[in-house]
Structure 1
Amino acid sequence: MSKAFVDPEPKWFEDFELGDVITTRGRTVDIGDITSFAGLTGDHYQLHTDAAFMEGNRFGQRIAHGPLTFSLAVGLVGLSGFYGDAITALIEITALKATQPVFAGDTLHVVATVTNHDASGPKYGTLGVTYSVRNQSGDEVMIFLQTMLAKRHKLEG
Structure 2
Amino acid sequence: MDEKACYFEDYQLGDSRTTGAKTITEADIVIHAGQTGDFFPHHIDAEFCKNTEFGQRIAHGTLTFSVGVGLTASFINPVAFSYGYDHLRFIKPVFIGDTIHTVVTISDKKDHKKRANMGIVTEHLEVLNQKGETVMVADHLLMCQKRDA
Q: Which residue in the other structure is 1:84 paired with?
A: 77
Q: How far apart are 1:7 and its partner, in Å?
A: 5.2
Aligned ranges 1:3-152 → 2 under 5 Å: 6=1, 8-78=3-73, 80-81=74-75, 84-90=77-83, 92-120=84-112, 121-152=115-146
Mark the runs of 5 or more structure 1 residues left unpaired by the alignment: 1-5
Kindly provide the amino acid, as one letter, of the partner of residue 74 in structure 1. V
The alignment partner of 1:35 has SS state of helix
Kindly provide the amino acid, as one letter, of the partner of residue 139 in structure 1. E
Q: Deviations over 1:96-150 (max 9, x none)?
A: 1111000111110011111111135422110111101000011000111111211
Task: Indicate conservation of the 8 Å contact 1:25/1:109, yes or no.
Answer: yes
Q: Once superposed, what is the RMSD of the aligned Cα atoms?
A: 1.5
**Amino-acid identity (%):** 37
Task: Indicate conservation of the 8 Å contact 1:73/1:110, yes or no.
Answer: yes
Task: Indicate conservation of the 8 Å contact 1:88/1:151, yes or no.
Answer: no
Aligned residues: 147
Quick one: distance in 1 between partners of 2:67 and 2:4? 21
Mark the runs of 5 or more structure 2 residues left unpaired by the alignment: none
Task: Indicate conservation of the 8 Å contact 1:97/1:143, yes or no.
Answer: yes
Quick one: distance in 1 between partners of 2:78 and 2:25? 30
In the superposition, the TM-score normalised over structure 1's length comes to 0.87
Q: Deviations over 1:15-35 (max 9, x none)?
A: 101111011111111111110
Task: Indicate conservation of the 8 Å contact 2:82/2:140, yes or no.
Answer: no
Distance change in 2, residues 1:117/1:110 (3 Å): same
